[in-house]
Structure 1
Amino acid sequence: MRNEKDLLQLMNAHFEPLKLEIKRKQNVSVEFKKEELIQALSFLKSHSYRHLSTISCVDWPEEGEFELVYHLFSYDDLINISLKTRIKRDPGIFQTAKEIWPVAEFYERDIHDFFGVKFKGNDNLEELILENWQEIPPMRKDFDTRKFVNDKYEWRDYNGQKHTD
């Protein structure tokens, strides 16, 4: 069973991570160049990190980037590891991880739905929740929630009266 420091040494020996960090006990974060991330995911799966908990996305519009975060867990080491990379917001394309973990297809569909990121190699990016959505993806920070709500819904106060601005 590896500890957090052993895991970071293993990653550093096989890759050139941008940043290695022990967040707290049993929780590690590693940042990669986008060109190395898929290879690092495959490597970790072969080193007991067989559980892909989820994939999340963070929007950094000021920097013109999305940050993709792959959350893995090892039942042998009892360590959570987050592998991060950044991609350009425009065009917002990254390689799929579904060949490594088939469940990645679902998480990638979710990220595509809510952020608009496309995953090369995932031919099933149809909507999960936002059927017939016509706006920019709603989890992007430049999505104007107030404008959307004002355009789509009529406000009423709690006693059922229409609200006027």
Structure 2
Amino acid sequence: MRDLIEKLTPRYTLGNATYQRADLTFVDVTRDELRALLLELRDKEGFTHLVLLTAVDWIEEGKFQLTYMINNREADQTLGLRLYIDRNDAEGDTIHDIWPTAATYQRELREMFGIAFPGSPRVDEEFILEGWTDMPPYRRDFDTLAYSQQTYVEREGRETHDPRATMKHKMYPEG
């Protein structure tokens, strides 16, 4: 995979490369070069399968990390392209025309993180969270406890146990 990164580096602004395993590498890319790079990797380098498109919320840095995982089945190689976008103006470029399955990932990221993908099919339609009106729940500033307390009625007879004490009691009942 190092050979591929070295081959691409003269034409693309590639950032930090992380060689996770012999068959798995991650590399930082810029937004303005993403589409051309994805097309070259698909059409010339054999990365014909979009495995995953996901996001990480780096709230402290004010960024989202989009990771495009693509796979070259013949060479048994997976490449993760990491793209950082502004968290406050979270918008990515649609790639559904390159890999149609990307439309589904983009719909999920829109709903769960609030990342827009203009031009992606059905991206603004409800997908998983029908009737959801709160902030996107995968954002790190979404308060799950407050949401739960505001949305659901506390039921009598329900007890909360410290997980550490409960497991200790189950594993060592007489200790």
Tell me the TM-score normalised to structure 1 length: 0.90
Which position in structure 1 is the counterpart of 2:82?
84
Q: Which has the higher strand share?
A: 1
Deviations 1:134-153 (A, max 9, x none): 11000000000000000111
Give percent identity, aligned residues only: 31
Q: Return 5+ residue gaps in structure 2 as ranges.
A: 160-175
Which position in structure 1 is the counterpart of 2:146?
147
Aligned partners of 1:82, 1:162: CA distance in 2, in Å? 44
The answer to whether structure 1 residue 43 and structure 2 residue 40 are counterparts is: yes
Deviations 1:10-46 (A, max 9, x none): 2213211012221112001110112111221111111
Which position in structure 2 is the counterpart of 1:12?
9
Which position in structure 1 is the counterpart of 2:103?
105
Aligned partners of 1:21, 1:76: CA distance in 2, in Å? 22
Aligned length: 157
Tell me the CA shift for residue 162 of structure 1.
6.2
Tell me the CA shift for residue 61 of structure 1.
1.3
Aligned partners of 1:77, 1:7: CA distance in 2, in Å? 12
Supply the RMSD in Å over aligned alpha carbons: 1.4
Aligned with 1:118 (options 111, 116, 119): 116
Query: Higher RCO, 1 or 2 (CA under 8 Å, sep at least 6)?
Result: 1
Q: Return 5+ residue gaps in structure 1 as ranges.
A: none
Tell me the TM-score normalised to structure 2 length: 0.85
Aligned partners of 1:130, 1:10: CA distance in 2, in Å? 43
Which position in structure 1 is the counterpart of 2:70?
72
